Structure 1
Amino acid sequence: MTTADTTSANPTAPPPPSPADLTYGGQYSVNPLGEVSFRKLCSRLPSVLWHVARTAWHIDRRAVLLLLGCQVITGVSAAVLLTGTAHAMQAILGTGAVSHRLRDALPALLVVAGAAALARVSSALSTYADRRLTPPVTTHADTALVEAVCRVDAAALAGEGFSDRHEAAEMGVVRSHVMINDAQRFMSALVRMVTASGVLSVLNPLMLPLLVLAVLPAGLGAVMSARVDYEVHYANISDRNSRSMMRWWATTSKYADEVRANGMTSYLLFWYRSLSERIDNRTLAAAPRTLRIALGTSLLGGVFLTATWAGLAWLAVTGRVNLAIAATALVAVQTTLAALSQVVINGAALFHTSLYLTDMQTFLDDAADKAPHRGDTAVAAPVEEIRLDEVVYRYPGKEAPAVDHVSLTLRRGEILAIVGENGSGKSTLTRLITGIYLADKGRVLWNGNDLAAVDPESVWSCTGLVPQIFAQWPLRVRENVTLGQPRTFDDTPVWEAIDAVGLREAVESLRYGLDTLLAREVWGGSEFSGGQWQRAACARALYRRPPLLILDEPTSQMDPRGEHDIFEEIKAIAADRITIVVTHCLENTKVADRIIVMDHGRVIEQGTHEDLACGAGLFAELLALSKDR
């Protein structure tokens, strides 16, 4: 039953709410080309060509040289073809017997045939070079975008407009697939136009301005239409971004049970259809503008083209050029007109592509600025002490700090438990301790080194984290354990980590053991249960043997046996590292040497489990509530 059927069956029910109209302010809320002049837009082409050439040169120099050589050959062939045509026409339209005229024209005709064959070979080689360059150029752009997002400071991911700018940059990756082809066709047409124009200028210089006027309106219309298309694209970025995310959440098999059992299908389809219609409506609303542009520029171009042919006819009829020159001029006009048209069409296509490439490059530059550049000092194991000194952190757009003036000292060999109600700042505190976030105020010191001046990679090489929301990587079991760490061909350490979390039986039951792909959606793949996935996440952290081990609700999906195994392992390995356990299950805090209780970003209590349980604070209250069931 569709949403419409549901509404008609129950007329008193309100209609489902439409998707929110997503808008945001700030520097990314305004179309960057909205106030840019037409002249400035056209001036972008040289920089775009330079960017294309530099990228292609970096990837495959031989293919670039072949492509450039083909353009030179194309231009020379066009000039030779027109010159040979002129000589052949003079011979054919001259005086004397037909056989003599054909014999006199034969050398020129052979040259024309050779030039045409050379041009075709050059075109085939250009296509070959384009096919060599396009896939790696697209891969380069795609990889650069993924790397930029992966390396950006974690706090920037939640920044204003970041996700939407990422969506806009994705279109740049898509357009990079045609970037080389657009540039190659534009340069080829430009070379042909220059050579043909040169020949035409020798025949009669009056023809060239008329030809330029004949194709200029088409170029103007193409650029104006490209600008309209980009405006529509820019207006739809947020909606496309939301639709893309919702499409994944609604169709992935991981959430199929929730979608079906909770009756979400009809509304999700309604939501997706409504958002798609809103995107389409913006596109359709722009159609009359592009139609007016196309009709106006076509009419103007037609007038100038008629004048061009009329001028050529007038020159021939009045005898201002002889018949042979007029015939050659006819071929030159056709060649120049075709080349000019291709320059305009491919120049506009290149301009269109440049709009999206600019979005992508702007995003990459912005992401590079947001990547953590904190210092060259390196932290190395062992980590004897981590100290927080009056640390404050507030999320962008929030008034109250998530962590508010927290001072804390953690020492090697200690197990620290962090507890508190939802939203109290527990997970944020662990992000500050690991340097994922930098404090707005105060300092976080590792062995006396301020994280604000420490190479973050050295910090993270000393960290093992089991987050509350962990990834279920579509990799083999082995890679799910060793991910992010160097490994040898010896699987002993892998099995040790698996044994530590009680996952051996589950792994051995899989068809290919450690080589089993954990992705049920892929042919030959398998799947873990929720609790088994959580054990795999814990095994991944333990495999690292980190100086700092952080477990954020590490057993929330496990059965009692699995939970017991994990906490026994935590106690067994605690002496060599600093261990932090974030949990809502207060019974599990008995494993800790010290407990801190957080509320609204502050540490309001700390002590042992026995001390806090016997007190009159929040810990004792939460413990009593957990037992009153």
Structure 2
Amino acid sequence: MTATDTPTEAPQTPPPPPPATISFESNYGKNPLGEATFAAMCARLPSVLRQTAQMAWAIDRLAVILLLVCQVLTGVTAAVVLAFTARAMQHLVGNGPVSERLHAAFPALAVITAAVAVGRISSALSSYGDGRISPGLITAADTALVEAVCRVEASAYSEDGFANRQEAAEVGVSRTTMMVKDAQRFTAAFVRMIAASGVLTALHPLMLPLLLLAVVPAGLGAVLSARVDYETHYANVGDRNVRGMMRWWATTSRHGDEVRANGMTDYIVYWYRTLSERIDKRTLTAAPRTLRIMLATSALGGIFLLATWATLAWLASTGRLDLAIAATAVVAVQTSLAALSQLVINGAALFHTSLYLADMRSFLDLAAERAPKRGEMKISAPVEEICLEDVVYGYPGKERPAVDHVSLTLRRGEILAIVGENGSGKSTLSRLITGILLPDKGRVAWDGVDLASADPSSVWAHTGLVPQIFAQWPLRARENVTLGQPRTFHDDPVWEAIDAVGMRTAIEELPKELDTLLAREFFGGSELSGGQWQRLACSRALYRRSALLILDEPTSQMDPRGEHDIFEEIKSIAADRITVVVTHQLENTKIADRIIVMQDGRITEQGRYEELANGGGLFAELLALAKDR
């Protein structure tokens, strides 16, 4: 065989890469209960009950009172049933004709029937009270989490572990409604146990300790199993967080074209399945541990339960208990056993749920710590001057500052353009100017007021921002312009802002014009093109008539006509405000009174367009590259 006859092998392609392994080495990556003792975990229950009661009390006080009254009634009726069972048994197993024994036992049986009826009614009322509390409780928890995330300093999003702690808190929100039910069942079981135990102890003091020994192992098993479950949950938090993000990106219609045209469907499905299997593997690995715990504790509980029944039989057979008392003891043991079992099961469930709620409370505490605490000084319009004095800002985990010793003054009536290569610090500088970020060193002052000492709401009341990545809010067209902050009771200012960006025809063609829901995913909703959305984002900033207007790549998705309309509008309103334009389109900087060039976080050049175009620096180099096409 010659060389030319050798069969050629098909070129090999590498397999698709698996999902990245997510691990953290900071304190946030450690299970907070990893070194907690069993006693310490059980000691949490009183505080959990107190916190649950406080949360429920804040939602509906009448419902809480109703629940407490019902739990007391449950205990009273349980005690009455057992006490009168003993009386009825004395007559039923006594001597004499059956009719006489039944007649003598009838009053006790009537009381038992009435007590059972009261217990059933109280149980129904408990469900009603829980139904009144639970919806408000989960709404309060969910709203508190959303508000906390919205109000933190923007820099918190970049902190190590913040996103994972938020994901853990989300699970806590979903478990909030279970907390009331767990607490209610635990309290009811505790009251029934007290009532039944009192009767059982009165029958013979030896019975209760044996019964406790029979049930405690089950409680131990339930709590230890909850700990294993939580460890698995904590190990999977990061993967679940990333999987949730990927699920949204993969299934939203906005990215459907990119997924299909780039042939990503198979990889996304592979990636999603692989990550889900990794999560499942951790869960399945924990299953044998849970099985061993439950088998061991069930066997131990069974031994003690057998000893309880053997003791009862011995007491009855040796005459230490009358037959009627023994019969009552059987009922009391069954009742006490059921109450104790419910107590430990619901106590473990309460403890289990409290772990997730602890994550939620921990995150809310963190968010409260990271909420802006800058000062109470107010910013008033018009803002004449914004000064940055030797400002330095670096993102967590980055060695080099994003903005490095920048000093800059912006004045009312001036249009400032910021240009530079990707990663040069342009967007970070604009965030510092608005006060979204506070500098690590130096200061940013509006009319002499340091933003670190100013009330942020008073600062942002005078800002209008079109970010590079802007939101496409699932709101009506009107609210997408006003952002829920209307200035008048009529729509004239809204239409003015829409006209300024050339969007009137597009809005008038929508099914309900300004009342149209801009979300194609929902019934009755409509969608805009990318360029139309960007125009609408610009209309938001123009509608605000703010003292500071910042536009970060405001025309990147627009056609030439739309781009021309926007910059003409910017020029026409510039006299009344400070305007900042961040752009890669260097030709657009001709409208600017001043241009600054960013490189590695520093200002390397500044001047007017003609000066920089002929200055031989980075601006001239970038401009030449833009023309060399």
Which residue of structure 2 aligns with residue 405 of structure 1? 405
Question: Superposed, which structure 2 residues align to 1:390-539 within 5 Å?
Answer: 390-539=390-539
CA distance in 1, matches of 2:124, 2:89: 29
C-alpha spacing 1:484/1:399, structure 2 compared with 1 (3 Å): farther
Letter aligned with residue 163 of structure 1: A
Which residue of structure 2 aligns with residue 46 of structure 1? 46
CA distance in 2, matches of 1:596, 1:11: 51
Which residue of structure 2 aligns with residue 195 of structure 1? 195
CA distance in 1, matches of 2:429, 2:628: 29
Which residue of structure 2 aligns with residue 139 of structure 1? 139
Measure how far apart 1:24 and its partner are: 1.3
Question: Superposed, which structure 2 residues align to 1:102-121 within 5 Å?
Answer: 102-121=102-121
Question: Superposed, which structure 2 residues align to 1:169-568 within 5 Å?
Answer: 169-568=169-568
Residue identity over aligned pairs, in percent, reads: 72
Which residue of structure 1 aligns with residue 5 of structure 2? none
CA distance in 1, matches of 2:574, 2:484: 22
Measure how far apart 1:615 and its partner are: 1.2
Runs of 4+ displaced beyond 4 Å: none
1:236 counterpart SS class? helix
2:14 counterpart SS class? coil
Which residue of structure 2 aligns with residue 3 of structure 1? none
Which residue of structure 2 aligns with residue 610 of structure 1? 610
CA distance in 2, matches of 1:352, 1:208: 27
Letter aligned with residue 356 of structure 1: Y
**RMSD (Å) for aligned C-alpha atoms:** 1.0
Measure how far apart 1:49 and its partner are: 0.6
Letter aligned with residue 215 of structure 1: V
1:28 counterpart SS class? helix
CA distance in 1, matches of 2:314, 2:489: 84
CA distance in 2, matches of 1:378, 1:203: 74
Which residue of structure 1 aligns with residue 58 of structure 2? 58
Letter aligned with residue 12 of structure 1: Q
TM-superposition CA deviations, 1:542-585 (whole Å, max 9, x none): 11110000000000000111111101110111111100000111
CA distance in 1, matches of 2:414, 2:485: 25
CA distance in 2, matches of 1:464, 1:483: 11
TM-superposition CA deviations, 1:251-306 (whole Å, max 9, x none): 10000000000000001111001100100111111111111101100100000000
TM-superposition CA deviations, 1:74-95 (whole Å, max 9, x none): 0010011111111111122222
CA distance in 2, matches of 1:289, 1:622: 63
Measure how far apart 1:10 and its partner are: 6.7
CA distance in 1, matches of 2:395, 2:283: 36
2:153 pairs with 1:168: no
Measure how far apart 1:29 and its partner are: 1.3
CA distance in 2, matches of 1:67, 1:537: 50
CA distance in 1, matches of 2:339, 2:229: 25
Measure how far apart 1:513 and its partner are: 0.3
Provide the TM-score with structure 1 as the length reference.
0.98
Letter aligned with residue 347 of structure 1: G
CA distance in 1, matches of 2:622, 2:488: 46
Which residue of structure 1 aligns with residue 626 of structure 2? 626
Question: Superposed, which structure 2 residues align to 1:119-158 within 5 Å?
Answer: 119-158=119-158
1:418 counterpart SS class? strand
TM-superposition CA deviations, 1:305-353 (whole Å, max 9, x none): 0001111111111110111111111111111000000000000000100
Letter aligned with residue 86 of structure 1: A
CA distance in 2, matches of 1:63, 1:209: 36
Which residue of structure 2 aligns with residue 4 of structure 1? none
Provide the TM-score with structure 2 as the length reference.
0.98
Measure how far apart 1:131 and its partner are: 1.2
CA distance in 1, matches of 2:484, 2:292: 56
Letter aligned with residue 175 of structure 1: R
Measure how far apart 1:42 and its partner are: 0.5
CA distance in 1, matches of 2:222, 2:361: 23
1:409 counterpart SS class? strand
TM-superposition CA deviations, 1:462-513 (whole Å, max 9, x none): 1000000000001110010011424433000100000010000000011110
CA distance in 2, matches of 1:497, 1:463: 16
TM-superposition CA deviations, 1:509-557 (whole Å, max 9, x none): 1111001110111111100000000000000111111000000000000
TM-superposition CA deviations, 1:576-599 (whole Å, max 9, x none): 110000011111111111111111
Q: Give the number of equivalent residue pairs.
A: 621
Question: Superposed, which structure 2 residues align to 1:2-13 within 5 Å?
Answer: 12-13=12-13
Which residues of structure 2 form unaligned runs of 5+?
A: 1-8
CA distance in 2, matches of 1:485, 1:571: 25
TM-superposition CA deviations, 1:151-190 (whole Å, max 9, x none): 1110110110111111111110111121110000000000
CA distance in 2, matches of 1:616, 1:532: 37
Which residue of structure 1 aligns with residue 593 of structure 2? 593
Letter aligned with residue 494 of structure 1: V
Query: Which stretch has the larger CA shift, 298-307 or 132-141?
Result: 132-141
TM-superposition CA deviations, 1:423-460 (whole Å, max 9, x none): 11000000001111110110100010111111111111
CA distance in 2, matches of 1:520, 1:486: 24
Which residues of structure 1 form unaligned runs of 5+?
A: 1-8
1:24 counterpart SS class? coil
Letter aligned with residue 353 of structure 1: T
